[in-house]
Structure 1
Amino acid sequence: MFALVAALAIGSACPDIALAATDGKPVKLAAFSGRSVALITGLDLSTPGDNHLLAPLSLVSLSKEKLEIAVLSLLAPERLSALSESAGERVSLYSCGEDALTALDALVNGKPQRRCVLVNAKGRVVRVWSSLGPSFAESLADWFSGRLVPYGYPCPDPRAPFGIEPRESDRGLLLLFLSSTGVVDAMYADRIVKLANFCAERKISTVALFPSYDETEETVAKFAKAAMFEFPCVVDPGFGFADALRITHTPTAVLLARDGKCAYAGAIDSNTRDRETNRKYVQDAIEALLKGEKPPIVQTMPFGTLLRRSERDDQERIRGSGGGGAVSSSP
């Protein structure tokens, strides 16, 4: 069976919980729309030990315009106001009710404890830290490094949220992040068909996710039909799973072992031109996985079209490229 990593949470919408700032003014989680939010719960801010966990968060270099670090507490706003200075400039303290904490606990199907729920700019849960140890701040900072998830990382399985039934015989899962309008994605269509057949023969399931901001069921279905894909193709709403696996380009492949851990992440092969390809990264990783071995290459730099997050992004890329798309070259 595939590992269930915060199965109820990853990719799902975070509830719009009610908070109060240290000045007592009400704040809704939706107010942070357009930036990521790290929701930290379970800390006893009245004790020095828990307060010291906040100091290392200054390591997170992202500005507050991109990432809000919010510590939620049952303490009254006036009490939090007195503690805010010791929390540091990078951390914001918010008062909340038991119902808000209960909603977050239910979201990750867990008991009340120290944890951090990371919500992306579209309000989707993309990572859950179930403990807040000494390395938490470094782990949070690394999350925004722009690198794909590493080998051995416990990945979320997106099939259940989309009603895709896993097979008991599955020996792994290949996730393909694609765009219905990407030039490179279209160039890979025939190779993806062959790759999916290669996977099916080896009892590896294939699922394609389309995370771009303007993808719809219709655009995905049209692309899949033209490409003759015979595996599930779904829209990834709010970049939930794309951000959970730190996808930056399409096409990108992520291979999961049977235990749900990442066996490979990156480009499908070594060249956008099929005839010039000399390394088949995904196929090599699958062969190694089925032998019980670590793949010879576990991560590569993906190439293709930058993930399309908004119409504004599209316009800026068109201006910057003189009218073409934002496409990176083969590694």
Structure 2
Amino acid sequence: MKTLKILVGVAFIIAISAFAIDKVSNPETDGGYSIGDIATDFKLKNIDNTDIALADYKDAKGFIVIFTCNHCPYSVAYEDRIIALDKNFKTKGYPVIAINPNNPKAYPDDSFDNMIIRAKDKGFTFPYLFDDGQKIYPQYGATKTPHVYVLEKTDKGNIVRYIGAIDNNYKDASSATEKYVEDAVNALLKGEKVPVETTKAIGCSIKA
């Protein structure tokens, strides 16, 4: 009887450990998209007051959707790298689509008017959309700014191929040794499997 209890205890510990490892190795967000899911389209207001949808990009091969904002120091640290991603991949069929998911009532720095100012000051080369009513970021499962979703455009829809951080060093681009988004898009352009499909997004929590 004592041996049976020990065996049951060991089995329980192994099961818990396996679950914990799985959660670490698959840091996808709760309630949002997972790798292989088809992302629904959206129509959101851009800083030029036009409405933007993924369907507008007829010639796109996919998208680099980045939830970001004006005030978060992590987002600010990545702005030049986001611009570089857009300049590098837009002409290859993978444009950046930036979305501000924050509630401006909770954080006035992230108002639509301030989005316009920030985009002009930084010279954004990509759409900067406002998630009015905060309807889109929960669908994706974004929790941080920045939080990236690389989508591949297929006959079935826009399939999620990567979720997580831009790279592994938010403080210094030159010190980043793993460029997750860049590697993901380059793999897709070559028709290859994305080498790292999920990472933990590092940034400020989205303000509801």
TM-score, normalised by the number of residues in structure 2: 0.74
Aligned residue number for residue 149 of structure 2? 254
- How big is the shift at 1:175? 0.7
**SS at structure 1 position matched to 2:98:** strand
**SS at structure 1 position matched to 2:138:** helix
Aligned residue number for residue 301 of structure 1? 200
- How big is the shift at 1:205? 2.1
Give the aligned residue type for 1:220. M
Aligned residue number for residue 102 of structure 2? 212
Cα distance change of structure 1 residues 182 and 161 upon mapping to structure 2, 3 Å threshold: closer
Partners of 2:57 and 2:162 lie apart in 1 by: 21
Cα distance change of structure 1 residues 267 and 145 upon mapping to structure 2, 3 Å threshold: closer
For the 8 Å contact 2:29–2:143, the answer to whether it is kept is: no
1:154 lines up with 2:49 in the alignment = no
For the 8 Å contact 2:85–2:96, the answer to whether it is kept is: no
Aligned residue number for residue 5 of structure 2? none
Cα distance change of structure 1 residues 269 and 147 upon mapping to structure 2, 3 Å threshold: farther
Partners of 2:85 and 2:64 lie apart in 1 by: 10
Give the aligned residue type for 1:267. A
Cα distance change of structure 1 residues 188 and 262 upon mapping to structure 2, 3 Å threshold: same
Cα distance change of structure 1 residues 203 and 145 upon mapping to structure 2, 3 Å threshold: closer
1:231 lines up with 2:126 in the alignment = yes
TM-score, normalised by the number of residues in structure 1: 0.47
- How big is the shift at 1:192? 0.9
Partners of 2:168 and 2:39 lie apart in 1 by: 24
Aligned residue number for residue 169 of structure 1? 59
Compute the RMSD of aligned alpha carbons: 1.8
Partners of 1:225 and 1:156 lie apart in 2 by: 29
- How big is the shift at 1:280? 0.7
Aligned residue number for residue 283 of structure 1? 182
**SS at structure 1 position matched to 2:181:** helix
Partners of 1:244 and 1:307 lie apart in 2 by: 14
Aligned residue number for residue 269 of structure 1? 167
Identity %: 27
* Structure ID, larger Rg: 1
User: Where does the alignment leave 5 or more consecutive residues of structure 2 unmatched?
Assistant: 1-27, 46-50, 105-109
Cα distance change of structure 1 residues 257 and 191 upon mapping to structure 2, 3 Å threshold: same
* Bigger RCO (CA 8 Å, 6+ sep): 2
Cα distance change of structure 1 residues 148 and 285 upon mapping to structure 2, 3 Å threshold: farther
For the 8 Å contact 2:165–2:201, the answer to whether it is kept is: yes
For the 8 Å contact 1:148–1:265, the answer to whether it is kept is: no
**SS at structure 2 position matched to 1:200:** helix
Where do 1:307-318 residues align within 5 Å? Answer: 307-309=206-208
For the 8 Å contact 1:264–1:297, the answer to whether it is kept is: yes
User: Where does the alignment leave 5 or more consecutive residues of structure 1 unmatched?
Assistant: 1-143, 310-331
- How big is the shift at 1:257? 0.4
Partners of 2:61 and 2:203 lie apart in 1 by: 28
Query: For residues 173-227 of structure 1, what are the alpha-carbon distances to aligned partners after superposition, in whole Å with 9 as ceiling and x for unaligned?
Result: 1111001110111111111111111111311122110011113321111121122
Partners of 1:147 and 1:290 lie apart in 2 by: 29
Give the aligned residue type for 1:232. P
Moved >6 Å (runs of 4+): none
Partners of 2:142 and 2:192 lie apart in 1 by: 25
Aligned residue number for residue 202 of structure 1? 92
For the 8 Å contact 2:166–2:179, the answer to whether it is kept is: yes
1:180 lines up with 2:81 in the alignment = no
For the 8 Å contact 2:29–2:142, the answer to whether it is kept is: no
